[in-house]
């Protein structure tokens, strides 16, 4: 998912790139609670019937589901912020706050959409300058990545 933030008067353009999320955190917790409740209720019923190993395995199943949903939600919180000013490009990556920052000179920066070696692998969208390169939009699908490459090329070379 790509959003462009509107900034008034100056030539700055800011793009926020984030993975698509099908559910909010609250909705995810509701779904997890429902599945966990049904699973543990079934395990409890069988435990009362004398099948004592069903409940611990139901608990392990709920624990594994919770871990998988947590990891998915954590990865969905990733953000990339690309800011293009008159003379520079900065790429900030992180979750709730910037964890890494990469700066490039706008005039020398190239946008490269590198094709994969194997046909079913995704392409890589790179910002390259002076022997350095950084991959952006790695969690986007192929069409979104191609669209972002086109937008970035236009934005970087618009006033250069």
Are both 15 and 30 inside the same structural domain?
no
Are both 48 and 124 inside the same structural domain?
no
Are both 47 and 94 inside the same structural domain?
no
SS3 for the chain is CEEEECCCCCCCEEEEECCCCCCCHHHHHHHHHHHHHHHHHHHHHHHHCCCCCHHHHHHHHHHHHHHHHHHHHHHHCCEEEEEECCCEEEEEEECCCEEEEEEEEHHHCEEEEECCCCCCCCCEEEEEECCEEEEECCCCCHHHHHHHHHHHHHHHCCCC
| 110-114 and 124-129 strand pairing | antiparallel
CATH number of the CATH domain containing 91: 2.30.29
pTM (2 decimals)?
0.77
| pLDDT per residue as tens, the chain (160 positions) | 787 776 656 678 899 999 888 888 899 999 999 999 999 999 999 999 999 999 999 999 999 999 999 999 988 889 999 999 888 999 999 988 888 999 999 889 999 998 888 888 889 999 999 889 999 988 888 999 999 999 999 888 875 5
Residue 147's domain comprises 2-20+79-156
Are both 105 and 151 inside the same structural domain?
yes
Q: By the 8 A CB rule, do 40 and 56 touch? A: no
As a whole number of angstroms, the distance between CA 57 and CA 42 comes to 11
Are both 69 and 115 inside the same structural domain?
no
Are both 137 and 72 inside the same structural domain?
no
Are both 14 and 44 inside the same structural domain?
no
What is the total count of domains within the chain? 2
């Amino acid at each position: 998912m790509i959003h462009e933030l509107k900034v008034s008067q100056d030539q700055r353009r800011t793009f926020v790139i984030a993975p698509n999320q099908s559910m909010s955190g609250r909705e995810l917790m509701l779904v997890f609670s429902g599945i966990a409740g049904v699973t543990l209720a079934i395990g409890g019923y069988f435990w009362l019937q004398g099948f004592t190993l069903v409940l611990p395995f139901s608990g392990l199943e709920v624990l594994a589901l919770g871990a998988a949903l947590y990891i998915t939600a954590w990865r969905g919180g990733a953000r990339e912020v690309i800011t293009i000013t008159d003379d520079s490009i900065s790429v900030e990556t992180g979750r709730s706050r910037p964890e890494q920052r990469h700066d490039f000179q706008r005039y020398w920066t190239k946008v490269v959409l590198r094709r994969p070696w194997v046909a079913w692998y995704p392409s890589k969208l790179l910002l390259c300058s002076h022997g350095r390169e950084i991959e952006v939009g790695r969690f986007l699908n192929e069409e979104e990545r191609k669209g972002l490459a086109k937008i970035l090329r236009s934005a970087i070379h618009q006033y250069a």
